[in-house]
Amino acid sequence: MADKVYDAVIVGSGATGGWAAKELCEAGMEVAMLEAGPKLDPDKDFSEHLQPHDLKYRGKANPKADERIRRPVGSRCYACEESNTQMFVDEVDNPWTTPSDKPFWWVRGRQVGGRTIMWGRQSYRLSDYDFKAASHDGYGDDWPISYADIAPYYDTVEQFVGISGQAEGLSQLPDGKFLPPMAMSCGEHMVKKAVDGMGRRMTIGRCAVNTRPHQGRAACHYCGPCHRGCMTQSYFSSPVSTLPMAEKTGKFTLVTNAVVRHVTTNGGGLADGVFYFDRATRSSREIKAKIVILCASTLESTRIMFNSGNERFPGGLANSSGVMGHYLMDHFMYPGAEGILAARNGTTREIANRPNGIYIPRFRNIDSKDSRFIRGYGYQGGEGVTVYEHAYSTKGFGAAFKEKVKTDTESRVRLVGFGEMLAKRENHVRLDDKVKDAWDIPALHIDCVQGDNERAMAKDMMESSKEMLEAAGAKITSTNTVYPPPGFAIHEVGTARMGSDPKTSVLNKWNQAHDVKNLFVMDGSCFVSIGCQNPTLTMMALTVRACEYAVAEHKRGNLA
């Protein structure tokens, strides 16, 4: 392999890596992909149809089990269960450090497909309230692109991936190319009527799950626990969609269990390949390519660039600006409220395990400015009608008990806020010169915390959710203004931001490094601001756009 020079090497096989492979291979380029983990076998590794009684610990998982002890942060995630713990990174082998008073909960997945195997699948477009946020409120920097620049690439991604949703005609949440929307429950329609009546808007979630057969993949049959895998390939993940398209060209080589240490460079300062370790044997290897594309996820790509520092770039590859590592962001989530819709108690669940919730788009700082904070937030959530869960607290036995369990159901509605975290230079990552991973690669030190704007927004998120649920007739049972440390929304972005000025950014508007013209970073690293919408759809659209540019530049000979 060392003698072969590929047209491009891609690091990472997740949402953006899969798209990069598809686009470049279909353009006729010879592509190699390096993935730090193994390829999963759905027959052995997916467990979405297992019932609690099929599992040793009834799905709750043993907190003393070694695999969970080795994942103290990952095991906090709702998606990490007894049957899929192995899909989350072993944090003992893959450590990071933080200041003692600034925890960062970093949740990762190392397997072919990365976190697209167990992601939440919510897929929303950003708008110019996000791309041009600084022009709206004067804080921070605008992106070097506008919504009009990326809109055609949103179209491309949505039409291939399959995004179910409902058009709403909102400027802050542009409509897309949707598959038919999933249905709301009766309780959710009650909440929607109240929310819409307040001049806001509630819609069904826009979700990367097929509601009809699409691109050779089956429609979802609502079995529910998508984070355990999907045997029917009904939701988007790179191993069942973009990667097969790359393989179909005959120009794609996948190297699994390849733990990348750094990008290699030649005497002219260009990237010429990647140095990596075999995950099991820890032997070192290199792969050569004319173009290097990092899609390892925000923090991993930045870590690779830091570890790629050389005589020309002692502070990290392509970091002449000194900006790399700075402006880390993640959504802060959970502020909100929950209540009981008494009018719905005693009903049965209308929809099986619908793999989707509702969405209330941002309504703050759109037409008027809020004096308490800038930017905005949205809500996810929905109605949950208990089926058997309340049996634990229901008294009785025998036939009467069984009838009570069937009829004494309870409707709970919940709104969970997702708020924008401002881009701040002081929220940053760097290498820790004392801590290394299992392959002797320097680990990241992450220094990041939410600020006053986030705290003010969280209070309003709770108050507004309570107001909307009460308007729908719900009796409030809990409210929350507390949110976990950054990282736990698993929406981390920034650290290699794009911009027009090489002195204040790492990448240009095409995700190309200012300093190294054949190095591209096509993941969340490039974000200038985060908005309040889930970021993966935007990452994929940016990747398609960047690949179109990279292919054209490669053909012109401008990257050599």
- Express each pLDDT in 225-276 by its tens digit: 999 999 999 999 999 999 999 999 999 999 999 999 999 999 999 999 999 9
Cα of 193 vs its chain's centroid, Å: 30
CB atoms within 10 A of CB 181: 17
CA distance 404 to 401: 5
CB atoms within 10 A of CB 560: 12
pLDDT of the residue at 180? 98
pLDDT of the residue at 19? 98
Give the length of the chain. 560
Work out whether the CA dihedral 464, 465, 467, 472 comes out positive or negative: positive
- Split at pLDDT 50, 70, 90, the class of 387 is low
> Cα angle at 112 between 111 and 116, to 5 degrees?
90
Q: Where are the alpha helices (DSSP H) in 289-418?
A: 298-307, 398-407
Question: Helices 186-197 and 452-471 sit at what angle, rounded to 10 degrees?
Answer: 110
> What pLDDT, in 10s, does the model give residues 197-239?
999 999 999 999 999 999 999 999 999 899 999 999 999 999 9
Task: Give this prediction's pTM.
Answer: 0.96
pLDDT of the residue at 547? 98
Side-chain-side CA neighbours of residue 363 (13 Å): 17
Mean pLDDT over each residue of the chain, to the nearest integer: 95
- Split at pLDDT 50, 70, 90, the class of 393 is low
Report whether pLDDT(1) > 60: no
Report whether pLDDT(81) > 80: yes
Mean pLDDT to the nearest integer, 378-402: 82
- Split at pLDDT 50, 70, 90, the class of 59 is confident
- Split at pLDDT 50, 70, 90, the class of 385 is confident
CA distances for 9 relative to 25, 288, 309, 531, angstroms: 11, 8, 19, 30
Mean pLDDT to the nearest integer, 363-378: 97
Report whether pLDDT(172) > 60: yes
Q: Structural domain boundaries of the chain?
A: 180-209+332-419+450-484
Report whether pLDDT(394) > 80: no
Q: Which of 144-148, 222-226, 351-355, 401-405 has the highest mean pLDDT?
A: 144-148
- Of 59-63, 259-263, 467-471, the poorest mean pLDDT is in 59-63
Amino acid symbol at 259:
V
CA distance 296 to 520: 12
Say whether 359 sits in a helix, a strand or coil: strand
Residues 6+ apart with CB under 8 A from 381: 336, 357, 358, 413, 414, 415, 416
pLDDT of the residue at 32? 98
The DSSP secondary-structure symbol of 170 reads B
- Split at pLDDT 50, 70, 90, the class of 2 is low
> What pLDDT, in 10s, does the model give residues 95-109?
999 999 999 999 999
For residues 280 and 57, the answer to whether their CB atoms sit within 8 Å is: no
Residues 6+ apart with CB under 8 A from 287: 1, 2, 6, 9, 32, 34, 255, 273, 274, 276
